[in-house]
Amino acid sequence: MNSQTATTTSTTITTTALVPPAAGERVRGTVLCLIVHDELELRLRLAGLVRRAMPKIDADTVTRAGFDAISIERLRAYVAVMFIIEFSPPEASASSLASLKRLHEQAPNLPIFVFARGGNERTAARTMKMGASDYWPIHSVIVGELCSALQPLIEPAPAPAGTSGASGAAADRWRQPEVAGYTMMKKIAQSSAASVYLARNDEFPQPVALKVEAITGQHVVSEADRQRFTKECEILSKLNHRSIANVLDFGTTEDYLYLALEYFPCGSLRERLKHPVSEADAVNYAHQIGEALQIVHAARVVHRDLKPSNLMLTNENRLVLIDFGSARTQFTTNDLARSGDCTGTPYYVCPEQIEDRDPDARGDLYSLGVVFFEMLSGSLPYSGKTLAEILAAHRGAPVPRLPEQLSAYQPIIDRLLAKDPKDRYGSAAEFLDALDSLRTELMTRKPSKPQRSA
């Protein structure tokens, strides 16, 4: 086994190919992960990034050959294993993926992170299927996201019977909650009502997004909630449209309501909006959202929580609507007294929902208007320093103006963001007609290219 050693007093990172200490042999308070790659410099860079994201976690690093020589009993002493995998050329990844797959089969509850060089959405799905808990292109790892992934590895939790130390507690957290047939890989979203996990099921070829709603605890599910949940899942599972996420499975247990949806490794429109969106893309996305709403509303379902994080992107630049009615949040007058930070739904909520009136399909069109304005202008139509300011703006502030070069879309924005639902488009189909008419008009306005003289 090859051995390489480097030390740095500033980060106290152990970078050796020697076998790790057993759980009981660790220095008190030390939590270790293992980084696997043949280049020492790259291993050190990732080790430094891990420590930046989570100072309580140190790293051992090892070559792939060294990793293959470590016993599975020793590997279980780590809270996570991190593979840096080369996907270009394609054959370069074969041996690393084989090691990843073997590790997952031998230690299915041990978190495995993949950092890819030259990968894409297909390689992400492939590594997830083989057992990876998370995947990042190594050139674009965001420290905050890595911190969120590492946090569950060190949070205190009761160790299951027969285990001890941080690794046992971490493994137990990664197994929760328990839904028959599913193995939880990582938590990818959280709300007051439900959690969403990346999960595996042997019946499906790819990982799924599994939404789990606890029946007891802070959010108590009533019999009416069960009936509503089951009815809505049945309706959605029958909707066959490319702009609506496929419902793969749903059901209820003694402890949970659960819904399995297709998983989208490309992320959501929220991530896309971190960068400027072209006028053409904004119009294209708005049209796709309108098509999805048309199908959903025809099934007598109102989404009630339309926002960029509920619009997933495919590798074909297609939007897919998810999260139907799972969080039917009603904003009451008490909410107007709150202050502090707020993100997500309050920026996209319609005025009638703020006033504790159940919105109809036109409420979804209002939220579409917020998203469309944000895509076109690069900013939200209504904002504020507190929740009260944001909600008050939705209820009373005038509809903001688009930049002059985009003013042709202002009449559509005005209709979508009308305070009174009666002043909005009556349906998604009506909105789509207006958008298509404007696109045709704008195309005819474009000056033709001058003819070249002979």
The 10s digit of each residue's pLDDT in 261-307 is 888 888 889 889 988 999 999 999 999 999 999 998 988 888 888 99
277 within domain boundaries? yes
Q: How confident is the model at residue 121 (pLDDT cuts 50, 70, 90)?
A: low
pLDDT at 127: 85
Q: pLDDT digit string (tens) for 68-117?
A: 889 888 888 888 999 999 988 878 888 889 899 999 888 888 899 999 88
Indicate the pTM of the whole model. Answer: 0.58
pLDDT at 126: 79
Determine contact, residues 79/166, Cβ cutoff 8 Å: yes
Same domain, 114 and 214: no
Write down which residue in 153, 169, 187 finishes a domain. Answer: 153
Write down which residue in 262, 279, 296 finishes a domain. Answer: 262
**Active-site amino acid positions:** 305
If you average pLDDT over residues 195-202, what whole number do you get? Answer: 86
115 phi and psi, to 5 degrees?
-115, 115
283 within domain boundaries? yes
167 within domain boundaries? no
16 phi and psi, to 5 degrees?
-135, 150
Name the 3-class secondary structure at 137: strand
107 within domain boundaries? yes
Of 318-322, 334-338, 371-375, 426-430, the one with minimum mean pLDDT is: 334-338
332 phi and psi, to 5 degrees?
-95, 175
Same domain, 250 and 290: no
Domain count, the chain: 3
Asked whether the predicted pLDDT for residue 376 surpasses 60, the reply is yes
If you average pLDDT over residues 214-235, what whole number do you get? Answer: 68
C-alpha radius of gyration, the chain, whole number: 25
CATH number, domain containing residue 58 = 3.40.50.2300
Rounded Cα–Cα distance for residues 107 and 101 (Å)? 10
164 within domain boundaries? no
pLDDT at 217: 52
Same domain, 310 and 398: yes
Rounded Cα–Cα distance for residues 196 and 53 (Å)? 23
Which residues span the domain enclosing 405? 269-442
Same domain, 277 and 328: yes
Asked whether the predicted pLDDT for residue 319 surpasses 80, the reply is yes
Strands 31-36, 57-62: pairing is: parallel
398 within domain boundaries? yes
For residue 187, what are the β-bridge partners? Answer: 197
CATH number, domain containing residue 223 = 3.30.200.20
Tokens of 324: 């139907």
Rounded Cα–Cα distance for residues 56 and 52 (Å)? 9
Tokens of 75: 């590997």
CATH number, domain containing residue 305 = 1.10.510.10
Residue at token pair 């100072």 = 55
Same domain, 83 and 141: yes
Same domain, 248 and 386: no
Same domain, 26 and 10: yes
Same domain, 296 and 369: yes
Q: Is 71 left (phi over 0), alpha (psi -120 to 50) or beta?
A: beta
Q: State the number of CA atoms in the 13 A half-sphere of 390 facing the CB.
A: 23
> Smallest Cα–Cα separation from 322: which of 308, 335, 334, 333?
308
Determine contact, residues 32/20, Cβ cutoff 8 Å: yes
> Smallest Cα–Cα separation from 15: which of 59, 69, 66?
59
Same domain, 116 and 227: no
